[in-house]
Structure formats: C-alpha cells, structure tokens
Homo-oligomer: A and B are copies of this chain.
Amino acid sequence: MSDGIVFIDGEYMHPRDATMSIFDTGFVWGDCVYDVTSTWNGWFFMLDEHLERFQRSCEGFRLENPYSFEEMRRICAECVDRSGLSNSYVKMQITRGVPPHGVRDPRGLTPSVVVYAVPYVWIWGEDKCRNGVSLHVSSVERVSSRAIDQRFKNYNRADLVQARLEAYDNGCDDAILTGADGFLTEGPGYNFFIVRDGTVASPDYNVLEGITRRAVREICEREGIPFELREIRPEELSEASEVFTSTTAGGVMPVTGINGTPVGNGHAGIVTSRIQSTYWSEREAGWHGVRAGDILAS
C-alpha cells in the first residue's frame, strides 16, 4: 500500500521527507489550525463541509490561508489522486510561519500550508472502532473554550494526551474530558453521545463541532431517532443505555465500558449499531461524496 503523499506550500513529496522548521510559530506557539477528512471507497466525505470548517478555524485563529477554497479542494484531490489510496485519511493544516530572529509579532508572517493523504486511520484499530472501546472519565480538565475556542480545530492538545495516558493507567482505551463547568465535553479527537430513553444526546459546548457528529444527526433525523445537543453531566454516562463516539478516523464507534464498568450489556447497543451500519453503508455508496478524479477533471 502507498505511504501517501504530502503537499507543503506547493510541493508534493513522500511523508518521510515532510519536514518543517523547528522555529515555525505553528509549533512554538501552538499557532496552527487543522482539519481532517477521509476518502472511503474512493469517495471524499463531506469535503466542502470540512473545508468550510477549516476556513472557520483559520478565521478564529486569525490565520490567513493563501489558498482559496477551490484551490484547497484541488490540493486535497491531488494528494488523494497521487497517493493512489481509495481509503485515505486526509489532513490539512496551516501554521503561522517562521518569524525573523527575535520577532514576536505574529502579524505579517508567511503562513505554511500542509495537506496530506495517507492510508485511512482507525483511531483505536479497526476492531475496537467497530466493536467497542472502554473510556475513562478523566481527572484532566478539557482546555476551556474561553482560553482556546475548541470550535477551531487546533494542536494545543496536551490535556488530551495526559488524559489518554491516565486512561491507559486505568486499563481503559481512551478518555472523555470534563470541562471547567463540570459538564462533559469530548475525547482526544472525537465527539461522544449517550442514548437515554431512545434519545441520542451529545454535548454542544467546549467541543469541536464534528462533521461526523453532523452525519450522526442526519442519520438520526432520517431514521426518526430523537437527537439533541445539550449539557451532559458525568453521572449520565452510567445512567445511559448506550454510549458511542464519532470521528473521521473510525466513523461511529460503540463505547462498551466506562471507567471499567460495562455500558448496558457490554456490547454495542441497538441504536448505536443502527447508526453505525447506516453510516458505513452510506459511506460505501458515496454519501455526501465526491471523487478526487472528478474534482481534478472539473
């Protein structure tokens, strides 16, 4: 399988050659936003929605993308096309750039844009993503949106790393973090959902506005499953009949344990499985999809 293709500021290269200056303020000051979409069976998923969110992240961080929406679209397509991958993980990022020595002012630097397509990633491996993981409710608090607005997808994620390490310490696969206000937020790279009395609910504050979350909502609406975005207390995780998560890199993923205790009967629940199977069958069929070749031919 191809290792993928990386685009950096106009050039295409192998991932092993993809480097950046250690002085880029995207790294040194966490002054960087990104987004991730995927192709499955050759189809990009909600590409424009991801590009629009990336644009909002850029604006939120006051980063100016030198490439237009249409150019970004073509660069994504070009990476996928050159990689030859039909199932791929496609990331785009922009960093503030490298300042002259001693310059502290972020204004007026030349931003650097990276896009790449690499083999599709299952965040917990395919088996766990499809069949269930155990999550740990972390003692590490999620960075507050009053400090760094979590609607803008960014690399300031040291809280998420420490939460994940704590989850491993506790025999779990990954974490869910609580916000400063005591309500649940999200995990490292995914939204989460609970099912209570047949209603699917997910937090709406201090979280990334997930595109896969949007897909979950759309499936719920189509299938007549009540869906709501609202504050969720940590205790509700144990009161829920089902828990699941969503992300580009794994889709709709059952949570079968919380803090070492099984959720429901310890297997993927009925509502979760229904949403998950719809998600994947739709992905196979090119739902909300566009092909790289069609973008490049247009």
Q: How many copies of this chain does one complex carry? A: 2
- Return the contact of A118 from the options B20, B32, B101, B142 (Cβ within 8 A): B101
- Return the contact of A107 from the options B3, B29, B157, B165 (Cβ within 8 A): B165
Cβ-defined contact, A147 with B155, below 8 A: no
Cβ-defined contact, B26 with A161, below 8 A: no
A114 to B, closest residue via Cβ: B22
Contact A124-B148, Cβ < 8 Å, known A30-B156, A155-B28, A156-B156? no
A20 to B, closest residue via Cβ: B22
A106 close to B (CB within 8 Å) = yes
Cα distance A143–B146 in the bound complex, in angstroms: 8
Cβ-defined contact, A18 with B23, below 8 A: yes
A140 to B, closest residue via Cβ: B147
Q: Mask for A193-222, Cβ within 8 A of B = 1, else 0? A: 000000000000000000000000000000
A160 proximity list for chain B (CB < 8 A): 29
Residues of A1-31 at the interface with B, using a CB-CB cut-off of 8 Å, are 3, 6, 8, 15, 18-23, 25-31
A224 close to B (CB within 8 Å) = no
A123 proximity list for chain B (CB < 8 A): 104
A19 proximity list for chain B (CB < 8 A): 19-22
Contact A168-B107, Cβ < 8 Å, known A101-B3, A143-B144, A144-B141? yes
A158 close to B (CB within 8 Å) = yes
Cβ-defined contact, B6 with A15, below 8 A: no
A254 close to B (CB within 8 Å) = no
Cβ-defined contact, B106 with A124, below 8 A: no
Cβ-defined contact, B15 with A162, below 8 A: no
A180 close to B (CB within 8 Å) = yes
Cα distance A161–B25 in the bound complex, in angstroms: 10
Residues of A161-206 at the interface with B, using a CB-CB cut-off of 8 Å, are 161-162, 164-165, 168, 180
Cβ-closest 6 pairs across A and B:
A19-B19, A156-B156, A141-B146, A147-B159, A141-B147, A30-B158
